[in-house]
Structure 1
C-alpha cells in the first residue's frame, strides 16, 4: 500500500499489551486492525458488518511500548455481500524520528441485515 493517506486508526499500546518477549502481543495488533477494518467496512456497507476472514497476515517487525501505531486501509475487492480490505500498520518511533512498517493483512467483511444474515452491499 504505497499511497498512504490519513490513518483509519491511531493508537498507543500500553504496558498491559506486552507479551513475554517484551514486545506488543500479536493479538492486540490483530484486534486493532480488526477495529480499523470494521470502520472502513461499516462505512462501505452503510450498516452492520462482521469480519469473516483474515488472510495473508504477516508480522514484519515488533511493536514496542511507546510506539504510536497508525493503521491505514483500503478496499481492494468488492463482492455481492462482502469486501476485502488491505490493512497496513506503521509504528512511529523515537518521538516521530522514524517509521517502521510492522504488519499488514487482508481482512474480509460481510454486510449483515437485521437478522445477522449476509445482505447485498449498497451500490458503490
Structure 2
C-alpha cells in the first residue's frame, strides 16, 4: 500500500451518504463494490469505445471503513487486456469531509468484456485501432 492516493484523476468521486450505511454505521461494502464496478466500466469503455459489462470480480481487500460524509475516490487502471476482455484494477481512497487526511479503503480487480453493436463480444484490436 502506498502512502497516498494515485496521482491520477479518479474515474469516479462520490460522497458516502447515510442511505449507503450498514447497521454498524459505516458504509456498506456492497455500495463500495458497486461504485468500483462503475469506475472499472468507465475505464474499460473509454479504452474500447464500447459497452463493457463486468463478467468477473476478484481480489477484493477492504482496508479501512468509510464513514458517512467521507469523500470517496475510485481510481481505475487497466492492467491487462485479452482478445475481448479488459482487466481493471480499482483502488478506493477515502478522505474525511472536514480535513485533508485520508486512507486507502479498498482495492479489487474487475474483468469486463467489450461488446459490439450486435451485443456480442468484440475484438479489442479492432476497437482500439
TM-score using structure 2 length: 0.90
- Secondary structure, aligned partner of 2:41: helix
Shifted more, 57-66 versus 89-98: the winner is: 89-98
Report the counterpart of residue 115 of structure 2 in structure 1. Answer: 112
1:44-123 correspondence to structure 2 within 5 Å: 44-121=47-124, 122-123=127-128
Indicate the SS of the match to 2:53: strand
Q: CA RMSD in A?
A: 1.5
2:60/2:108 contact within 8 Å kept? yes
Match status 1:18 vs 2:25: no
Query: 2:100 & 2:52 partners in 1: Cα distance?
Result: 37
Q: Could you tell me whether the CA contact under 8 Å between 2:47 and 2:128 is conserved in 1?
A: no
Residue 118 of structure 1 and its aligned partner are, at CA, apart by 1.0
Please identify, of 2-11 and 78-87, the stretch whose mean Cα deviation from structure 2 is larger. Answer: 2-11
CA distance, structure 2, for counterparts of residue 81 and residue 41 of structure 1: 11
Consecutive unaligned residues of structure 2, counting only runs of 5 or more, are: none
Q: What number of residue pairs does the alignment pair up?
A: 124
Contact 2:49 2:128 in 1 (8 A): no
Q: CA deviation at 1:94?
A: 4.9
Segments of 4+ in structure 1 off by > 2 A?
1-4
**Which blocks of at least 5 consecutive residues in structure 1 are unaligned?**
none
Give CA deviations for 1:74-106 in whole Å, capped at 9, x if unaligned: 100011100100100000115232111000001
Give the structure with the higher percent strand.
1
Partner Cα distance (1:26, 1:12) in 2: 15
Correspondence for 1:34:
37
